[in-house]
Amino acid sequence: MNSMSMDDKDLIYSLRAELDAHNYKYYVLSAPEISDQEFDEKMHQLIELEQKHPELFDANSPTQRVGSDISKAFTQVKHKYPMLSLGNTYSKEEVQDFYNRVSRALEGEKFEIVCELKFDGTSISLTYENGEFVRAVTRGDGEKGDDVTDNVRTIRTIPLKLKGDYPQSLEMRGEILMPWAVFDELNQEREAEGEPLFANPRNAASGTLKQRNSAEVARRKLDAYLYYVLGEDIPTLSHSDNLAHAKKWGFKISDAYKVCNNVDEVFEFINYWDVERKNLPFATDGIVLKVNSIAQQEQLGLTAKSPRWAIAYKFKAERECTRLNDITYQVGRTGIVTPVANLEPVQLAGTVVKRASLHNADIIESLDLHVGDYVYVEKGGEIIPKIVGVNTEMRNPDAAEKVKFITHCPECGAELVRVEGEAAHRCPNENSCFPQIVGRILHFVSRKAMNITIGNESIELLLKRNLIKDAADLYALKVDDLKDLPLWGEKSANNLINSIKDSLSVPYDRVLYAIGIRTVGASMAKKLAAELKSIDALKAATVEQLVQIDEIGEGIAQQIVSFFADEKNVAFVERLRGYGLQLEAVESNTVVSDKFAGMTIVVSGVFEKYSRDEIKALIEANGGKNATSISKKTSFVVAGENMGPSKLAKCESLGVKIITEAEFDALLN
């Protein structure tokens, strides 16, 4: 043990208290008292002292907010109080019905309703003992959830130590969310890296909370609002008074709540926030109504799924009317041409919307669009807004002609084709159309494919300088080719060359995904690689042979055969072979049992303990086969949260067994 002076010990405790106070002022009160630089200097000093004196480790020290890069699996924890979901309504009539039901059940006794914002995030339960944060658990199935304590500890708005006169033991319920600004920044990063974008802040917050790497959670700057106090020794029997106490203890409690004495006041609150929510820095999708008296809550009781004393009123998807300035067309890596509506900027769901996807020619036709029209735009929590209608009353009599889908590629001028049965128009000039070439290379280098660290602008520069013509040319690059390029230098050049060399060890299934056969995604490539162990076996396969593989339909099979029928594609693959890429599967010894031998299993939904890919890997490691669609051949379905209703109906109609994640775990162990 390091020798320690009292000065060091006192300084550690003093710095912890000081940094806790500054965290609270900055993140909860939004009233910082010192600069970021001063804060960082004090944090650095504390880190050094704690490293010097590991015997004084404290899991709730401010230094633990940064998280760890050690991956940890989540353990299941039973909730002391069940985490029930709320009943939802989209109509004010049903709000009135709820109010009347409460009044009847309380036999005319006077009651208050607390109206609160319904935060669009992921539910969390926080446990504190003697004023110290000890555990964070997700909702899970309502009875038990995942212990995500390490991840939640990184969220700056959640106090690690309480202040004032708090109960000895308490549980705080609330919502973890991702602010719009952080969400936009995260999606920009993912887009630059070729990763799929998060659909909305709720999904982003939920996905972040399930990260196995708490350092990554810390980087994503989650926020939290708390809204319910539970415990044996809570201060009062008034929900609103308990919120006021919780605020004094250090919890971030939204000021946007109101104690209402009648239903008219409830509707005033709903109407106000239906407009003002657009100005909030985070997503909210409704209003929660709760009976204020906890004694009356207990009197009203619970149903099997939800409390009788609360309900959630959900806002309708936000809609705004704005002007359609013009339509432009984008060309993707497979040649699909997507029309994009360029709009007069309008505030919608927390962001300024300037563009909306129109998807294809049929959508344009059905909307009867004219440039200059005033259109209705919706963004129901999703990334890409959509045009849902036209305000024909505002149409100028001298409006431009009706919009007609273009006939030629906006990039290379080739005549567009539309395959029978498909909605999309496609540019057939795949070898000379610049955005298609860039798109194919970006796909090739993406993280799920070859994982080569190069971005869109650099690829365009290499193409324009004739240093590459396709993805295979990357393997011929040398440092001297790159170091004198604008904004490059020798270090950047070496980084790229090393990344390209590292990609030579990428396994066959990812190489197969990288070469970009249309309709062959990452999971399909893995299935093909498992059945046909080399690129040569795949190249030689007929449509008839391919459709024998589970989940390969005739359309996908035809795309594969057509790809290898093109001499340019075959030459491309042979060049990759020449550079040493993995074009055949390496036999793996990862099969650990035959528990699922002969079984075909479908994995659907969102899981608590495992990711979907981890469950699929466990199935394969124990002798089973993964499938994406349910059929009579399906042995069982492993179902998480949000399993699609169509899959559920298919299971019921075919009599296919559904098991939970916990039951799957039990089968394994």
> Hey, which residues are catalytic here?
118
- Which structure tokens are listed for 229? 């106090």
148 backbone dihedrals φ, ψ, rounded to 5°: -115, 35
Sign of CA dihedral 299, 303, 305, 311: negative
Instruction: Name residue 419's amino acid.
Output: V
Rounding to the nearest 10 degrees, give the CA dihedral for residues 246, 249, 255, 257.
0
Note the maximum CA span of the chain: 87
Beta bridge partners of 228: 173
**Rounded Cα gap, residues 247 and 241, in angstroms:** 10
Other Cβ atoms less than 10 A from the Cβ of 188: the count is 11
Q: What is the 3-state secondary structure (H, E, C) of 374-440?
A: EEEEECCCCCCCEEEEECHHHCCCCCCCECCCCCECCCCCCECECCCCCCCEECCCCCCCHHHHHHH
Where b means 16+ CB within 10 Å and e means fewer, 129-159 reads eebebeebbbbbbeebbbbbbbbbbbbbbbb
Query: How many CA atoms does the CB half-sphere of 500 hold within 13 Å?
Result: 20
Does residue 36 sit in helix, strand or coil? helix
Pairing of strands 88-89, 310-314: parallel
**Rounded Cα gap, residues 101 and 173, in angstroms:** 26
What angle, rounded to 10 degrees, do the helices at 201-209 and 180-192 form? 80
Angle at 314 between CA 308 and CA 318, to 5 degrees: 175
Contacts of residue 249, Cβ cutoff 8 Å, sequence gap at least 6: 159, 162, 163, 164, 166
- Which structure tokens are listed for 645? 């209703």
Q: Is 74 in contact with 135 (CB distance < 8 Å)?
A: no
- Which structure tokens are listed for 260? 């209402």
Cα–Cα distances (Å) from 36 to 33, 41, 603, 631, in that order, read 10, 9, 46, 58
**Rounded Cα gap, residues 80 and 64, in angstroms:** 26
Q: Is 138 in contact with 146 (CB distance < 8 Å)?
A: yes
- Which structure tokens are listed for 486? 């604008």
Helices (H) and strands (E) in the chain — how many of each? 24, 21
What stretches of 82-138 show up as alpha helix (H) in DSSP? 92-105
Where b means 16+ CB within 10 Å and e means fewer, 424-458 reads bbbbebbeebebbbbbbbbbbbbeebbbbbbeeeb
What stretches of 210-293 show up as alpha helix (H) in DSSP? 214-219, 239-249, 263-276
Cα–Cα distances (Å) from 395 to 320, 344, 368, 383, 420, in that order, read 16, 15, 11, 28, 34
